[in-house]
Amino acid sequence: MSYWICCNSCFHSPGADRKLAVTTCGHLICNVCYQKGTQGTCLICSAKCKVSPLSDKSSSEVKALFSDINTVASKHLTEISKVIMFQARHQKRLLAYYQQRNEKLEQTVAKMKQEMQQMMKKLNDQSAHIKKLENAFQHQRVESMEMDETNLFRKPGNAPRLTLTSPPQDGRMGTVPHRITNQNLLANHSASSATVSRFQTTPLTPEISFSHSMGWKSPIFKPPSTFRHPSMSSLINLPP
């Protein structure tokens, strides 16, 4: 028995003539001291208590109080080690699961970043293309406005030029494969008028006829029989 086991009143170790008992309030008392006190009252703290003698028939809870600390520590340490290993194993499995989940999330985030960069690149390319189209449209619009202003302030040019390949016949104009300017036409017409008026003795009388089927006919000028004017082709200078 351990050295510290003794009566808390007389401090004698248990022996053949001294038997120890434990009270419900947690004190040790021998049978000699117990007879000196009041029954049902603790001699040490004067609290109401019951007494249980120490023997092999004591309860396991009472025996555990007087067990060797090394034995108790080894026993509980083994149980504690089991508990620690069990909990650590499950914690390790849970940690591995979270690590795998974290790696998958990181891969997903990296993929999303890559897709975002590609989308940003496409967006920048589209923005640049749209800006290029806007600049081209603006440039074309400015050129169109400048062209309209140039046409607005441009001086009117010469009228279309006409040429004849054959003289008029029966009051009808000939074909027009060539072109002559208005100035040449007016000059030739003046020259021909002067030539005709020099030799003309009687005025020309045009004959104009109208029919419902043919419409208006070109006027036909009949010069006097005594005058024979040159052909129109000889009077009009055709351009080369």
The number of C-alpha atoms within 13 Å of 152 and in the hemisphere containing its C-beta is 6
pLDDT mean across residues, the chain: 75
- Lowest-pLDDT choice from 93-102, 107-116, 173-182: 173-182
194 inside domain: yes
Sequence-ordered strand ranges (E) for 115-171: none
- Integer Cα distance of 131 and 197 in angstroms: 73
Helices (H) and strands (E) in the chain, counts: 5, 7
Q: Do 131 and 181 have their domain in common?
A: no
Residue 58 scores a pLDDT above 70: yes
Q: Which of 67, 100, 125 is at the close of a domain?
A: 67
Q: Closest by alpha carbon to 49, among 20, 19, 73, 28?
A: 28
10 inside domain: no
> For residue 11, what is the DSSP state?
-
The model's pTM is 0.36
Q: Which of 67, 101, 124 is at the close of a domain?
A: 67
Task: Look at 33 and 194; give whichever has higher pLDDT.
Answer: 33
Domain that holds residue 54: 20-67
154 inside domain: no
Sign of the Cα pseudo-torsion (193, 195, 201, 204, in order): negative
**Burial class, 147, CB count within 10 angstroms (exposed 0-12 / middle 13-18 / buried 19+):** exposed
DSSP for 182-205 reads HHHHHHHHHHHHHHHHHH--S--E
Question: Number of folded domains in the chain?
Answer: 3
9 inside domain: no
Using an 8 Å Cβ cutoff, are 10 and 33 in contact? yes
Q: Do 56 and 76 have their domain in common?
A: no
Strand 220-222 with 205-207, pairing: antiparallel
Q: pLDDT class for 177, splitting at 50, 70, 90?
A: very low
Residue 203 scores a pLDDT above 80: no
